Amino acid sequence: MIEIKDDPRVPIAREVKMAQRALYSRMEKSITQLTEATDRLTEAEDVAKSIQSQVKDKEGKEFEDLGKASKTIQDSIKVKREIITGRKFEKQGYGQTLPSYATGQDF
């Protein structure tokens, strides 16, 4: 294991180090939760796509309703993913808007 020591020329208070470690711990928990959420969204999207492909060629009101519900679920998943990761900007060129992320902050 590698041990990183502080630069002795730069004085850093112990309270600052403890606050940084607490922040890193909170950030790690948030990142883990977001990763699990996006993994679940991916799994749900795969299931919805699978259902939609299975009922695509079938005839009947039940199959149509199931296909529409699957499409609605996929659209909902897309919106949730955009909230977490930011909207994918499709256009090229100048005037791009900054994305909004799960933290609610624009960068």
Q: pLDDT tens across 14-60, in order?
A: 888 899 999 999 999 999 999 999 999 999 999 999 999 988 888 88
Residue 66's φ and ψ, nearest 5 degrees, are -65, -40
Instruction: Using the CB atoms, write b or e for 14-45: b if 16+ within 10 Å.
Output: eeeeeeeeeeeeeeeeeeeeeeeeeeebeeeb
Among the listed ranges 49-53, 56-60, 85-89, 101-105, which one has the minimum average pLDDT value?
Answer: 101-105
pLDDT at 107: 47
Q: Give 92 or 49, the one with higher predicted confidence.
A: 49
